[in-house]
Amino acid sequence: MKLDITLKDIIALVKELPETYLEETYEKLTEIKRKSDDEKESHEQNCPRCGSVHVVRNGKNGGKQMYLCRDCKKCFTETATAAVSRSHSSATVWKQVISDTVDGIPIDQTANSLDLHHETVFNMRHKILYCVEQSLVAKPTALIGVCETDETYVLESEKGKKFPENHHRTPRKHGAKASKAGISNEYVCVCTSVTGENGKVAIAVNRASPDSQEILDVFGERVNENTVILCDGKQSYNILDDKCTIAVAKRINKVNGFHSFIKEKLEGMRGVATIYLNRYNALFSMAYSADKSVVVNGIFELMFSRNNSFNTIAHTQSSNLLEI
């Protein structure tokens, strides 16, 4: 039976070893690492530029094996063009950070357990979130069959930002409530839908209640004539009348369960900055009611696939942010 062991489990175990066993442990781990490197180097590589298999090893750069294509003369690494290209962290470390991201583990906790700097884990986490979000942008979830659709509202957050003197509001402490009762412009609207085929959509569009155009922007290209939207009767959904069937339902428990999941995750992370909210919404859409190992492995494959998804840290932290 395969054990569910994580990198953090191994690190924690090593920390508890008596000093007399450290040398033996180091030798064993070094032997395993050497065996892993030999197996990796024996795998056939193909050139990311021309696809040729006429590839030879071409030394190492920063500890990473380099390869040279005999046909197009391109030099590349095993992860060339992947989202993790140029990363100094191993695949094992990346998988642990992905797992902690799915679980909503605080960045400092992940950094401490893996002996990494806070900023390093922050950058890795946002590369993961950006990659997940872009995968859903490239292949939007189609709303097929009967779909429960509704909105949920989360408190706007400027977490991590220093306010200027003339800012429109004063800073809030973690866990604080809005200054106004009810739904106001202090809340961000997240339009959501859950399909009978377990597809999920969660996209933040505006402050307060969404108008018809925002409903159309979120759902218009995802529905078709065979789609049935079950909603609470909000008039804004009527704009979808010519694209699908709109029906009013008193109980939409599936989508409400999704709302609870989103809010539980955000509360566990003590909120997220609103500019990054849709990246987390993409992750929530992937993780809700799904097997964690399947989600983690799917994101891992996405990050390590040579799919031209590489972006610099600066690009990841400045592109496609939610500005409302």
Distance in angstroms (rounded) separating the CA atoms of residues 231 and 225: 17
Distance in angstroms (rounded) separating the CA atoms of residues 310 and 306: 9
Distance in angstroms (rounded) separating the CA atoms of residues 193 and 45: 42
Compute CA 89 distance to the chain's CA centroid, rounded to the nearest angstrom. 18
Q: Which of the residue ranges 47-51, 82-86, 97-101, 168-172 would you say has the lowest mean pLDDT? A: 168-172
**Closest to 86 (Cα-Cα) out of 121, 124, 52, 113:** 124
299's CB contacts (< 8 A; 6+ apart) are: 98, 102, 128, 131, 132, 286
**pLDDT tens digits along 80-96:** 889 998 888 989 999 99
Distance in angstroms (rounded) separating the CA atoms of residues 53 and 57: 12
Separate counts of helices (H) and strands (E) for the chain: 10, 8
Strands (E), the chain: 55-61, 64-69, 75-77, 146-155, 187-195, 200-207, 228-231, 245-248
**Closest to 196 (Cα-Cα) out of 143, 249, 248, 150:** 143
**Closest to 201 (Cα-Cα) out of 303, 264, 285, 136:** 285
Say which residue, 185 or 234, is predicted with more confidence.
Answer: 234
**pLDDT tens digits along 110-157:** 999 999 999 999 999 999 999 999 999 999 999 999 999 999 999 988
**Is residue 282 predicted with pLDDT exceeding 50?**
yes
**Closest to 90 (Cα-Cα) out of 63, 70, 57:** 63
pLDDT of 131 reads: 95
**Is residue 213 predicted with pLDDT exceeding 90?**
yes
Secondary structure (3-state) at 212: helix
Distance in angstroms (rounded) separating the CA atoms of residues 47 and 42: 15
Question: Helices 7-15 and 107-114 sit at what angle, rounded to 10 degrees?
Answer: 50
**Confidence class of residue 3 from pLDDT cuts 50, 70 and 90?**
low
Q: List alpha helices for 104-191, DSSP H.
A: 107-114, 118-138
Distance in angstroms (rounded) separating the CA atoms of residues 226 and 35: 54
Give me the amino acid identity at 175: G
Secondary structure (3-state) at 43: coil
Distance in angstroms (rounded) separating the CA atoms of residues 135 and 302: 8
Distance in angstroms (rounded) separating the CA atoms of residues 178 and 176: 7
pLDDT of 1 reads: 45
Does the domain formed by 140-160+184-297 have CATH 3.30.420.10?
A: yes
Question: Helices 277-287 and 292-304 sit at what angle, rounded to 10 degrees?
Answer: 130
Query: Where do the domains of the chain lie?
Result: 1-43, 46-78, 140-160+184-297
Residue owning tokens 């175990």: 13
**Closest to 153 (Cα-Cα) out of 111, 207, 102, 200:** 207
